[in-house]
């Protein structure tokens, strides 16, 4: 080989390659950052620099005003740490605080009214719902009055206590062909996901409550509240969208299914 | 071959046995969501299968084939024993342990995150550690290829690097740089979340890092096939390579352009600015250049073979080609699939057209046609071509090989063409089932059945492939000395830029910084950009 130097402006291959690459980069940047942005019909920014910033993906007013709380469905950010089991001290404190809840939710978290069972409920579910009542993202005259006096620590301790209690005598749903279709496979063309892909069975998503053994009337009321929009604390509107696509008969079917394993007082139920 | 025979065999056998297992998973998935089967009751099983299929086919198979082929090229092209045999075995075992770790985690249902593992979905750390081990094992290969070339250069100062080895090193350097994106994503963002050290993850940044790897990795898969086009095909069909220089230019262009273009996978992602999306789209178009150069050069080389065999006239040489030669069939099939797949790819990379096919079955059809079609069919040929050297088994059964190749080609076309079609109609990808009883979907049901049948042909072809390899028995005759293609005119001197990699690697890194620097810095410095992780299989 000759004494041809590689990194040298006299090397023709290198020189041409570098010039071509730089030219290509500059031309495509000019098109992408300067020419194309103002061509969009919805382009409202003023000035070249604003257009370049937008094309570079810089948020126009990120952080200048805190995302307004008005339109949000919840202020709770679900984090895996919220799902950890409580310590004995937390559970004990929670048990004391929970005396205040027994009237509706039952002495051991198993409701004798149509209020939801809380025994064995996932801790992050209880935390989220209590926080939502506190911040007004979920409304109930009774619950709002009760949670007003609760501190952050009280909320965590209550969640730890209820998660500690044994669930109703129900095994989680597992797949078999006999499950109602909506619960097992949903209805893809109506954008209804299977219940068991979040509420246990296929997967148990963070923040999705344990539904087995819930009073039927509670489930029906909540689904209808999601449809009406009177309940709207599902952060991705996931439950509102599921419920809106469901017919009354389907709501009755899934509520019957989840309530099928008895709540307190019904025949055939062993003591927890 | 000198010392690497068993090493190469080990790589190929593990690659192809894993491939055989994964292809059965693929066909099972196709069957489960076809009208031939009832809806799957637990979609989790479907996604578990998709994850295993994708992880084996996208990471394990091509990595092992590239490594094994690379070791073989190093000995056969440089004509000297491989340096670092013990390190090479270490790399091999790292890949094996990593694969086993990831596979077991997936099988347990702790990692159904698909092979793209997009956050905020987070799997068990064992899955990511497994993938990391596979990559680390392959980095050993990169280092060994570089060391072996350096040793050869020392012995042959000023000599032109054989084209096969030049392509091999281009693939190795490309892989070394491209795997950095996913490595950073896994080590810095995903593993802390997976180990429970953090509860949130910057999902947008993670996706940008993954796109760094995601597109260039397909060119890493493709390199062995292109090396085979240039350095095996012309020799195998009795022709000459039309241009040695063209091969080097193609490999150099792949090094420069395949890397900084991955944001075209994020056209629908709001966190990346439209300007960068356009620049990446424009540069993606540039990658078609080395492919078109290759198609031109190889067709010209094939024409030389036809004319050497007495073919006359404008098209008469086509008739004179050795059509009973499996390599002739394979390169033809590969180019047909590359043609359809490449045309589809140009649609995917166009910023506007992409909107019509984004995340539909079209995309699945596209990459199966290019990778599983054009590239994997050349992996078969690489194995067939090297087998007499590796097994000392004499010649391979041409009839069985032709049957296998035909099955693969027809199967792949029948599998992917319906996918393209329903993709245009809007069928989403990565769905465990479709409701064919719905009047709007019923008309598309037959296409899924057709794809299932195409998949069946592929399974038969894959079984036949492994059977052909397994039935080879050692004979007493010494193997015919292995040769690579001869160019029709060996250039008197190769420009130093096309005999080395420094310029192209520098351009690759510089272009990456230009195209990825700002999006990464900006996303990393945004406040409130992290979202809570979603652990998969946690409860």
pLDDT of A174 > 80? The answer is no
Nearest to B428 by CA among B361, B339, B506, B352: B361
B234 phi/psi in degrees, rounded to 5: -60, -40
CA distance B66 to B223: 8
- Work out the angle at residue B29's Cα, subtended by the Cα atoms of residues B27 and B35, and round it to the nearest 5 degrees: 95
**Inter-chain contact A56–B507, Cβ cutoff 8 Å?**
no
The encoded tokens of residue A69 equal 């709380």
pLDDT tens digits, residue range B27-51? 999 999 999 998 887 888 999 999 9
Work out the mean pLDDT of chain A and round it to a whole number. 85
Give residue A200's pLDDT. 85
Give residue A99's pLDDT. 94
How much of chain A, in percent, has pLDDT values that exceed 90? 53
Confidence of residue A267 (pLDDT cuts 50, 70, 90): very low
**Inter-chain contact A189–B441, Cβ cutoff 8 Å?**
yes
User: Which are the contacts of B358, defined by CB distance < 8 A and separation ≥ 6?
Assistant: B267, B268
CB B144 within 8 A of CB B88: yes
Q: Is the ipTM of this complex over 0.90?
A: no
pLDDT tens digits, residue range B191-242? 999 998 998 999 999 999 999 999 999 999 999 999 999 999 999 999 999 9
Give residue B519's pLDDT. 95
Pure H helices in B309-375? 313-319, 326-349, 354-357, 361-367
Nearest by CB to residue B497, choosing from A13, A52, A187, is A13
Give residue A172's pLDDT. 63
CB B182 within 8 A of CB B209: yes
Per-residue pLDDT, averaged over A43-58, amounts to: 82
**pTM reported for the whole predicted model:** 0.92
pLDDT of A249 > 60? The answer is yes
Q: How far is B160 from chain A (nearest CA, A)?
A: 8
Confidence of residue A264 (pLDDT cuts 50, 70, 90): very low
Q: Name every chain B residue with its beta carbon within 8 A of the beta carbon of A80.
A: 196, 199, 532-533, 535, 538
Q: How far is B344 from chain A (nearest CA, A)?
A: 22
Rounded to the nearest 5 percent, the helix, strand and coil shares of chain A are 50, 0, 50
Residue B48 lies in a domain: yes
How much of chain B, in percent, has pLDDT values that exceed 70? 100
Q: Find, in chain B, the residue whose alpha carbon is nearest to that of A27.
A: B279
Q: Name every chain B residue with its beta carbon within 8 A of the beta carbon of A187.
A: 435
CA distance B482 to B73: 10
CA distance B274 to B276: 6
Catalytic residue IDs of B: 215, 219, 366-368, 429-430
Give residue A269's pLDDT. 38
pLDDT of A62 > 80? The answer is no
Work out the mean pLDDT of chain B and round it to a whole number. 94
Q: Name every chain A residue with its beta carbon within 8 A of the beta carbon of B284.
A: none
- Work out the angle at residue A131's Cα, subtended by the Cα atoms of residues A129 and A135, and round it to the nearest 5 degrees: 115
CA distance B374 to B229: 11
A187 phi/psi in degrees, rounded to 5: -140, 95
Give residue A2's pLDDT. 47
Give residue A202's pLDDT. 82
* Interchain contact B311–A (C-beta under 8 A): no
**Inter-chain contact B199–A206, Cβ cutoff 8 Å?**
no
Confidence of residue B1 (pLDDT cuts 50, 70, 90): confident
Confidence of residue A201 (pLDDT cuts 50, 70, 90): confident
Residue B114 lies in a domain: yes
Integer angstrom CA distances of residue B153 from B88, B146, B252, B502 = 20, 11, 19, 15
DSSP reduced 3-state for B241? strand
Residue whose pair of structure tokens reads 């604390």 in the numeric block = A233
Residue B302 lies in a domain: yes
pLDDT of A272 > 60? The answer is no
Q: Name every chain A residue with its beta carbon within 8 A of the beta carbon of B257.
A: none
CATH of the domain at B71: 1.20.210.10
Nearest by CB to residue B44, choosing from A1, A200, A202, is A202
B246-261 as b/e: b if 16+ CB within 10 A:
bbbbbbbbbbbbbbbb
Per-residue pLDDT, averaged over B356-382, amounts to: 96
User: Which are the contacts of B291, defined by CB distance < 8 A and separation ≥ 6?
Assistant: B250, B338, B342
CATH entry 1.10.760.10 includes domain A181-259: yes
Handedness of CA B343, B346, B352, B356 (dihedral sign): positive
Give residue B78's pLDDT. 96
Confidence of residue B3 (pLDDT cuts 50, 70, 90): very high
CA distance A123 to A206: 10
pLDDT of A52 > 80? The answer is yes
pLDDT tens digits, residue range B280-337? 999 999 999 999 999 999 999 999 999 999 999 999 999 999 999 999 999 999 999 9
Residue B97 lies in a domain: yes
Q: Find, in chain A, the residue whose alpha carbon is nearest to that of B514.
A: A25
Nearest by CB to residue A80, choosing from B277, B522, B533, is B533
* Interchain contact B514–A (C-beta under 8 A): yes
Give residue A1's pLDDT. 44
Higher pLDDT pick, A3 / B53: B53
Handedness of CA A78, A79, A85, A89 (dihedral sign): negative
Give residue A60's pLDDT. 67
Residue B535 lies in a domain: no
CA distance B50 to B55: 8
What residue numbers bound the domain in which B97 lies? Answer: 5-432+439-478+491-525
Give how many domains chain B has, as a whole number: 1
CATH of domain A80-164: 1.10.760.10
Beta partners for residue B532, in sequence order: B200
Contact map slice: B 317-336 vs A, CB within 8 A = none
**Inter-chain contact A29–B431, Cβ cutoff 8 Å?**
no
Q: How far is B303 from chain A (nearest CA, A)?
A: 29
N-terminal to C-terminal alpha carbon distance within chain B: 52
Q: Name every chain B residue with its beta carbon within 8 A of the beta carbon of A59.
A: 526
pLDDT of B97 > 90? The answer is yes
CA distance B387 to B474: 11
**Inter-chain contact B272–A57, Cβ cutoff 8 Å?**
yes
The encoded tokens of residue B211 equal 């796109």
Residue B454 lies in a domain: yes
pLDDT tens digits, residue range B107-129? 998 999 999 999 999 999 999 99
pLDDT of A261 > 80? The answer is no
* Interchain contact B198–A (C-beta under 8 A): no
Nearest to B328 by CA among B265, B277, B393, B401: B401
Higher pLDDT pick, B479 / A140: A140
Residue B2 C-alpha from the chain's centroid: 28
CB B450 within 8 A of CB B52: no
């Amino acid at each position: 080989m000759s004494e041809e130097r590689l990194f040298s402006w006299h090397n023709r291959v290198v020189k041409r390659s570098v010039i071509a690459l730089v030219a290509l980069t500059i031309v495509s940047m000019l098109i992408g950052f300067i020419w194309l942005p103002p061509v969009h019909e919805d382009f409202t920014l003023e000035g070249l620099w604003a257009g370049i910033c937008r094309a570079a993906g810089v948020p126009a007013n990120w952080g200048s005003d805190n995302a307004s709380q008005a339109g949000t469905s919840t202020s709770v950010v679900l984090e895996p740490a919220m799902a950890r089991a409580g310590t004995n001290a937390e559970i004990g404190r929670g048990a004391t605080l929970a005396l205040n809840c027994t009237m509706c939710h039952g002495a051991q978290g198993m409701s004798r009214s149509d209020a939801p069972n809380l025994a064995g409920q996932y801790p992050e579910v209880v935390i989220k719902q209590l926080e939502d009542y506190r911040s007004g993202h979920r409304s109930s005259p009774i619950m709002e009055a009760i949670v007003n006096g609760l501190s952050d620590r009280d909320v965590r301790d209550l969640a730890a206590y209820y998660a500690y209690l044994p669930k109703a005598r129900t095994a989680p749903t597992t797949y078999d062909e006999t499950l109602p279709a909506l619960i097992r496979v949903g209805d893809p063309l109506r954008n209804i996901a299977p219940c068991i892909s979040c509420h246990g069975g296929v997967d148990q998503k963070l923040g999705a409550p344990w539904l087995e053994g819930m009073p039927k009337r509670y489930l029906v009321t909540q689904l209808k509240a999601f449809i009406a929009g009177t309940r709207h604390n599902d952060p991705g509107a996931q439950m509102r969208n599921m419920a809106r696509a469901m017919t009354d008969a389907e709501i009755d079917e899934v509520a019957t299914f989840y309530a099928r394993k008895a709540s307190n007082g019904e025949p055939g139920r062993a003591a927890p | 071959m000198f010392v690497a025979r068993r090493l190469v065999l080990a790589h190929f056998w593990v690659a192809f046995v894993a491939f055989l297992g994964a292809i059965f998973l693929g066909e099972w998935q196709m069957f489960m969501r076809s009208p031939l089967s009832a809806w799957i009751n637990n979609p989790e099983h479907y996604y578990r299968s998709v994850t295993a299929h994708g992880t084996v086919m996208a990471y394990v198979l091509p990595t092992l084939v590239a490594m094994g082929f690379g070791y073989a090229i190093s000995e056969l092209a440089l004509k000297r024993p491989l340096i670092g045999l013990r390190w090479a075995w270490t790399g091999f075992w790292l890949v094996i342990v990593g694969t086993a770790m990831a596979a077991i985690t997936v099988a347990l249902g702790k990692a159904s995150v698909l092979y793209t593992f997009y956050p905020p979905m987070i799997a068990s750390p064992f899955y990511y550690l497994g993938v990391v081990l596979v990559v680390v094992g392959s980095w050993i290969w990169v280092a060994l290829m570089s060391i072996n070339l350096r040793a050869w250069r020392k012995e042959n100062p000023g000599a032109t690097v054989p084209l096969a080895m030049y392509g091999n090193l281009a693939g190795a350097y490309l892989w070394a740089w491209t795997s950095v994106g996913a490595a950073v994503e896994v080590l810095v963002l995903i593993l802390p979340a997976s180990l429970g050290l953090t509860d949130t993850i910057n999902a947008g940044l993670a996706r940008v890092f993954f796109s760094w790897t995601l597109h260039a990795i397909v060119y890493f898969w493709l390199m062995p096939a292109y090396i085979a086009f240039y350095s095996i095909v012309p020799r195998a069909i009795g022709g000459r390579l039309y241009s040695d220089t063209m091969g080097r230019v193609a490999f150099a262009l792949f090094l420069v352009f395949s890397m900084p273009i991955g944001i075209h996978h994020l056209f629908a992602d709001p966190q990346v600015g439209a300007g960068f999306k356009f620049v990446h789209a424009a540069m993606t178009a540039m990658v078609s250049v080395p492919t078109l150069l290759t198609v031109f050069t190889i067709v010209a080389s094939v024409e030389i073979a036809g004319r050497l065999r007495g073919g006359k006239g404008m098209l008469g040489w086509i008739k004179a080609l050795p059509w009973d030669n499996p390599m002739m069939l394979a390169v033809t099939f590969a180019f047909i699939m590359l043609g359809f797949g490449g045309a589809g790819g140009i649609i995917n990379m166009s910023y506007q057209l992409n909107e019509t096919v984004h995340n539909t079955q079209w995309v699945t059809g596209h990459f199966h046609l290019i990778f599983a079609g054009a590239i994997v069919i050349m992996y078969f040929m690489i194995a067939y071509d090297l087998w007499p050297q590796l097994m000392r088994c004499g010649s391979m059964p041409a009839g069985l090989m032709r049957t296998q190749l035909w099955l693969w080609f027809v199967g792949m076309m029948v599998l992917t063409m319906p996918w393209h079609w329903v993709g245009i109609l809007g069928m989403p990808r990565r769905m465990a089932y479709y409701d064919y009883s719905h009047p709007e979907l019923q008309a598309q049901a037959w296409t899924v059945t057709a794809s299932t049948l195409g998949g069946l042909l592929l399974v038969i072809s894959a079984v036949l492939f492994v059977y052909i390899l397994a039935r080879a028995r050692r004979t007493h005759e010494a193997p015919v000395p292995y040769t690579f293609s001869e160019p029709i005119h060996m250039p008197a001197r190769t420009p130093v830029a096309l005999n080395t990699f420094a310029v192209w690697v520098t351009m690759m890194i510089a272009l990456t910084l230009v195209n990825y620097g700002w999006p990464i810095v900006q996303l990393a410095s945004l406040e409130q950009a992290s979202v809570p992780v979603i652990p998969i299989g946690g409860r």
